[in-house]
Structure formats: structure tokens, C-alpha cells
Amino acid sequence: MEILWTSAVAASTARSPFAFSFTGFGALKVGMTVRQAEKALKFQLTEDVGPDDDPAGCHYAGNAGQLPGIALMVESGRIVRIDVTDSRYQTARGARVGTPEGELRRSYPGIRTLPHKYDENGHYLVLVSPDQQFALLFETDGKVVTEFRVGLREPVGYVERCL
């Protein structure tokens, strides 16, 4: 799997129990099993694992009715990344789908900008947690955020989701 960066970018974010941080959203935390996440969220998640797939392999889980626009990447039975495509969710500093790139740069001093792999006008704007374990990545079309993801640093950097 291709990873977007090789060097660390340290940054900190303000904390809010109702906004995304490096490690999750509210009671949903990176590192939980799907069952632990269901217990914390108080609703079921559906795992996208086919009959011929290895359930321990990389796949996604979610609940479109309860968490529209959110997909949970699962590897080895644990949530490793949370993908967000809906503008109703935000980070602790208020960034969301639709936030202009310039506003991201003001909100997150030290954010690293990388070229987008598939959109010649787009970018990946990346922050790595101070402990180097987690990351926050915003994808843009060159103007505004089109989606973002948080979680363990390596899986957040995967360009093509699960391969």
C-alpha cells in the first residue's frame, strides 16, 4: 500500500469530546474492536467482509443510518482509521468537508501540504500527532476539503483505502 509521507510533522489540536481528534470522535476511539465500538456508540455496525474475505484483513465497518458519511477502517480486528465525507462532522478546531485550504493552514500552523495522487489541482494536508503514532489528513480539490481521515499514522496515509 502506498503511504503519503515519510517524515513526521508534529502538531497538537485542541480537545473536544464532540469533535474529531487524532484518535477518534466522542466515545469512538482508534484501537477499539468493532464490538467495543458498537458498545461505545450504542448501535450496531455492519462490516464489509465478503464470504471469501479474511475477516482479520483490512475492511470497512459503518452504519449509514447512524453515522452517515463515516467509514471505519478495520485491520486485524481493530479500528485503525476513520474516514469522513460529510460536512456535519468537524475537527476540534472546526475544520470540516468544505473548509477552504487557507483556513486549514491558519487553524493548523505547520500543516504539511502534499500533491494529490489523482487530482492534479488537489492536495493532501497532513498533521502527525506529537507522539508520531496518529495522523489527521485532509484531502482537497485545491480549494476546499473534500474529505478527511484520522487514526493510526500508516493507515491514514493509505491512498487507496484497503487494497
State the pTM of this model. 0.87
Residue 134 in contact with residue 91, Cβ under 8 Å?
no
Do residues 163 and 1 lie in contact, with contact meaning Cβ atoms separated by under 8 Å? yes
> What would the grid cell of residue 151 be?
487514526
Domains and CATH numbers, the chain: 20-156 (2.60.460)
pLDDT average per 10 residues of sequence, the chain (163 residues): 34 48 92 96 90 81 94 95 94 94 94 95 96 96 97 94 78
Residue-level pLDDT at 3:
37
pLDDT at 33: 96
Cβ pair 136, 153 in contact under 8 A? no
Nearest partner of 38 among 18, 71, 62, 55, judged by Cα: 62
Note the pLDDT of residue 68: 94
- Separation CA 89–CA 78 (nearest Å): 22
Dihedral of alpha carbons 163, 73, 16, 64, sign: positive
